[in-house]
Amino acid sequence: MDEHKHHEQLIDGISKQFKEILENSGQGMYIYLDDIHKICNEKFAKMLGYTSAKDWSSAIQPFTELFVDKGSPSILVHAYRSAMEKGIGSSFDINWKTKNGKSLKTNVILVPIAFEGHLMALHFVTKK
């Protein structure tokens, strides 16, 4: 099985595992495996101006270029690396880029999670 197909199966599996939380959280949420393989809840998709979670997850340009506003990419990348390399969760402020190009100020809680032997990052996003 090729890696892309395997990653699709991982995202499908993690979305089923977290379905209740994704659907019922009062916060925007997304789970990130890589730029192509990610899922979010409807609340996060709408925060960024996407019509649906599927619309958001189908966007496959480099993640930080597409979704993260200027000044914030290094914050998100540092937190992600700390989570993946050291198992460290964190909370930080970040500005997202909405679909129409506007900036959205938020606080993000990022924690590492594992699913079927693969590390992923779980994010909870709250508007400021």
CA 61, 102, 94: angle at the middle one, nearest 5? 75
The arithmetic mean of pLDDT across residues 67-87, rounded, is 97
pLDDT of residue 1: 66
- Residue bearing the bigger pLDDT, 61 or 105: 105
For residue 32, is pLDDT > 70?
Answer: yes
Confidence of residue 55 (pLDDT cuts 50, 70, 90): very high
What's the pTM value of the predicted model, to 2 decimals? 0.95
Which pLDDT value is given to residue 60?
85
Tell me how crowded residue 115 is: count the other CB atoms within 10 A of its CB: 16
pLDDT at residue 25 above 90? Answer: yes
Percentage helix, strand, coil for the chain under 3-state DSSP, each rounded to 5: 40, 30, 30
Does residue 101 surpass a pLDDT of 80? yes
Print the domain residue range for 16: 3-127
Place of tokens 């997202």: 96
Number of domains, the chain: 1
Q: Look up the CATH number of the domain holding residue 120.
A: 3.30.450.20
